[in-house]
């Protein structure tokens, strides 16, 4: 399998790319062990698509190198193309053709032969819950179905390495969870996967290793747990329904830790970082609020989320520049509506 | 289904060269079939490739035709039909530019470029499909022509040569259009740009009116531009008469366009990333 005995399926070293004045990649490094999932996480414009395009032989890097299954993506581009599958941000399926026709044509282009291409198309349609829509033009499909068809198309030739560039961007929550389920199944079968996403929750759900990039540079890498531990310990979170008592609540818990509690004036939510003191700190919070006679709702102790990680690493939220609202943001809006009701 | 190792069924080594050459042909045919299938599913495309040339035949035959006098056996309709067929070949190229621009925008070309298919297949498949589309239109236009009084006057051989020349000309214009579509990458701009040069070039030619009726300053251009040469040759094939001079000059101009624009189109395709 390839000329690479190290067990790394994808290896990226010092990768650089410029578009005129824009320094899209400023020398990034990462490796993806065979059979594992790497989440390339970053806001819009971070350089995720550029990295994927270089790895899939569509762009030539200006510096550094990238190797897929032992083949250099520039020198051995033809060999790399025989190993990879790619599904992108915009579904590249032909909308006028039916789902089955789309897959059949891809199969023919992979030289499967007419009968085999048809058989493979049916198999994939079945597997991605598209069989009932197999003979309908793809333009009648929902967004989620189109993405699944696009993903199916990338799998026609059983790729050893799969690249998914923002596979759920623009999907509604149902489409997104459907997509996650499909991706998890794929991964369980041992395909190496590089997935890019703007959604922290998505990387957390699907990836073994996460590489966080911002403005063309890697700013953090590790497992989801490792990244979370960078923010420093657990968080106690509660909501004060009565906005006039918010100040009292903050004053009551302020002495508990070194840092200031974080408050969201709009939702009345207060988060207190409590290090590794766990339930002991939780009890202390309840005692103090009780003593101050502040009524609270929704008290919880949680591990820091990747949102907290991104804020801690970059000083700005991951999705502030994103065009499409992601799940964390949606949650925020809902919370605000409830608070206003 | 429970295998842990990454399944590799596609050989990572390069297949033999003969095999690759064969695939270059079949890949192009698969792409051509895909393009024709798409074309047959979009009513607007069908209207554009069939209804529009038919309207031109009827309009020129019955609306303008009475005012245009030509020294040709069979009258204006005999003069007109080779012109309309030549124009059909030229205008078929608009579809080439529009489709390629669309595919660049949608990311479809990117997807094909990431697959181990022959590099030439996307472009070749497009051109093959467009030539087939053009032939369908030509057959329909000739049928309509026969219904309104047109007759080939130079035998079957002449008719076939005329259609072949129109097709070769259309293919050459499609190459120019493929280049502009890939270079411009925007569907509407590609279409507008096509109209800007195709309209004057086809109308300031011998396609619809005899050149002697134009002002003398325009005659110099109209007489010597390639579309006039090609249409004159087509007319001689269809109606009889001396063909040699017009034929050689038109074949030379078709070859010139192909030699110049085909490499440009291939280069623009390579640079779509
Ligand atoms: N073809 C291109 N020409 C010019 N600039 C580009 C091109 N592709 C990407 N960029 C720029 O490079 C940066 C990274 O883009 P991209 O890789 O698409 O980010 P992401 O996928 O993370 O949103 C952005 O600033 C983007 O505007
Ligand atoms: Mg992107």
Query: Within a 10 A sphere around the Cβ of A241, how many other Cβ atoms?
Result: 13
Q: Encoding tokens for residue A210?
A: 């996460």
pLDDT at B11 over 60: no
Q: How far apart are CA A227 and CA A233, in angstroms?
A: 11
CA nearest to B119 within chain A = A78
Q: Model confidence over B137-196: pLDDT tens digits?
A: 999 999 999 999 999 999 999 999 999 999 999 999 999 999 999 998 888 998 888 888
As beta bridge partners, residue A251 has: none
A64 conformational bin, left if phi > 0, alpha if psi -120 to 50, beta if neither:
left
Q: How far apart are CA A146 and CA B106, in angstroms?
A: 13
Structure confidence at residue B45 (pLDDT) = 83
Report the SS3 class of residue A72.
strand
Structure confidence at residue A318 (pLDDT) = 57
Average pLDDT for A287-311: 83
Average pLDDT for B108-131: 92
- A111 touches B at CB < 8 Å: yes
The rounded percent of chain B whose pLDDT value lies above 90 is 65
Q: How far apart are CA B239 and CA B158, in angstroms?
A: 8
Q: Model confidence over B15-61: pLDDT tens digits?
A: 788 888 888 899 999 999 999 999 999 888 888 888 888 999 999 99
Pick from A96, A105, A89: nearest CA to A157: A105
Q: How far apart are CA A67 and CA A73, in angstroms?
A: 6
CA nearest to A95 within chain B = B38
CA angle B81, B86, B89 (to 5 degrees): 130
**Does ipTM come in above 0.90?**
no
What value does the mean pLDDT of chain B take?
Answer: 90
Structure confidence at residue B263 (pLDDT) = 94
Count of positions (residues) in chain B: 273
pTM for the model: 0.82
Structure confidence at residue B44 (pLDDT) = 86
Q: Encoding tokens for residue B174?
A: 């499609």
Gap from CA of A41 to ligand 1 centroid (Å): 15
Q: How far apart are CA A12 and CA A14, in angstroms?
A: 7
Contact A110, B116 (CB under 8 A): yes
Q: Is the CB of A175 under 6 A from ligand 1?
A: no
Structure confidence at residue A281 (pLDDT) = 83
Structure confidence at residue A321 (pLDDT) = 43
Q: Give the pLDDT band (50/70/90) at residue A270.
A: confident
Report the SS3 class of residue A189.
coil
pLDDT at A69 over 80: yes
Q: Which residue has the tokens 């009890």?
A: A283
Q: Model confidence over A160-199: pLDDT tens digits?
A: 999 999 999 888 888 899 899 999 988 898 899 999 998 8
Contact A70, A34 (CB under 8 A): no
Structure confidence at residue B221 (pLDDT) = 95
**Rg, C-alpha atoms of chain A:** 23
Structure confidence at residue B53 (pLDDT) = 87
Q: How far apart are the first and last CA of chain A?
A: 60
**Beta-strand pair A269-275/A234-239:** antiparallel
Of A105, A137, A191, the CB nearest to B30: A105
Structure confidence at residue A74 (pLDDT) = 96
HSE of A70, CA atoms in CB hemisphere, 13 A: 10
Q: Is the CB of A176 under 6 A from ligand 1?
A: no
Gap from CA of A60 to ligand 1 centroid (Å): 14
Taking CB atoms and an 8 Å cutoff, what residues of chain B touch A110? Answer: 10, 115-117
What value does the mean pLDDT of chain A take?
Answer: 85
């Amino acid at each position: 399998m390839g000329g690479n005995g190290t067990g790394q399926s994808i290896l990226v070293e010092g990768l650089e790319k410029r578009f005129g004045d824009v320094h899209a990649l400023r020398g990034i490094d990462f490796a993806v062990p065979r059979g594992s999932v790497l989440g390339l996480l970053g806001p819009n414009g971070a350089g995720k698509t550029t990295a994927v395009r270089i790895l899939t032989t569509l762009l030539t890097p200006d510096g550094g190198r990238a190797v897929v299954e032992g083949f250099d993506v520039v020198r051995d581009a033809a060999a790399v193309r025989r190993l990879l599958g790619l599904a992108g941000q915009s579904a590249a399926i032909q909308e006028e053709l039916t789902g089955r026709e789309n897959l059949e044509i891809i199969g023919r282009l992979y030289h499967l032969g007419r009968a085999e291409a048809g058989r493979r198309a049916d198999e994939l349609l079945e597997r991605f819950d598209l069989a009932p829509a197999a003979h309908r033009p793809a333009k009648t499909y929902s967004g989620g179905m189109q993405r699944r068809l696009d993903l199916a198309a990338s799998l026609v030739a059983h790729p050893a390495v799969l690249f998914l560039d923002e596979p759920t961007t623009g999907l509604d929550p149902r489409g997104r969870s459907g997509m996650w389920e499909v991706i998890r199944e794929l991964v369980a079968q041992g395909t190496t996967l590089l997935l890019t996403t703007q959604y922290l929750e998505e990387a957390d759900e699907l990836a073994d290793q996460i590489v966080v990039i911002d403005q063309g540079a890697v700013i953090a890498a590790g497992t989801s747990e490792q990244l979370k531990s960078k923010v420093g310990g657990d968080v106690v979170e509660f909501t004060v329904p009565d906005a006039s008592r918010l100040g009292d609540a903050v004053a009551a818990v302020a002495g508990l830790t070194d840092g200031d509690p974080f408050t969201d004036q709009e939702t009345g939510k207060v988060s207190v970082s409590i290090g590794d003191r766990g339930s002991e700190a939780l009890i202390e919070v309840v005692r103090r609020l009780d003593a101050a006679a502040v009524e609270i709702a929704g008290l919880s102790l949680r591990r820091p989320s990747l949102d907290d990680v991104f804020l801690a690493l970059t000083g700005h939220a991951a999705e502030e520049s994103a065009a499409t609202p992601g799940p964390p943001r949606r949650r925020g809006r809902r919370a605000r509506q409830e608070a206003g009701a | 289904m429970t295998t842990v190792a990454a399944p590799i069924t596609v050989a990572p080594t390069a297949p033999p060269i003969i095999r690759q050459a064969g695939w270059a042909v079949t890949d192009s045919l698969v792409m051509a079939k895909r393009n024709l299938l798409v074309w047959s599913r979009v009513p607007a495309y069908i209207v554009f490739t069939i209804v529009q040339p038919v309207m031109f035949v009827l309009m020129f035959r019955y609306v303008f035709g009475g005012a245009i006098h030509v020294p040709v056996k069979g009258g204006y309709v005999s003069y007109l039909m080779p012109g309309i067929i030549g124009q059909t070949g030229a205008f078929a190229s608009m579809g080439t530019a529009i489709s390629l621009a669309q595919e660049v925008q949608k990311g479809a070309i990117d997807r094909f470029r990431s697959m181990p298919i022959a590099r030439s297949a996307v472009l070749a498949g497009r051109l093959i499909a467009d030539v087939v589309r053009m032939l369908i239109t030509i057959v329909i236009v000739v049928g309509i022509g026969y219904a309104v009084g047109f007759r080939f006057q130079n035998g079957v051989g002449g008719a076939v040569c005329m259609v072949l020349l129109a097709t070769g000309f259309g293919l050459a214009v499609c190459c120019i259009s493929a280049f502009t579509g890939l270079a411009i990458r925007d569907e509407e701009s590609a279409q507008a740009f096509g109209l800007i040069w195709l309209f004057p070039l086809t109308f300031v030619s011998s396609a619809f009116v005899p050149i002697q009726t134009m002002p003398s300053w325009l005659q110099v251009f109209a007489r010597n531009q390639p579309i006039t040469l090609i249409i004159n040759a087509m007319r001689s094939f269809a109606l009889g008469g001396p063909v040699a001079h017009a034929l050689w000059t038109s074949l030379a101009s078709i070859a010139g366009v192909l030699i110049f624009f085909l490499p440009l189109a291939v280069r623009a395709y390579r640079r779509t990333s």
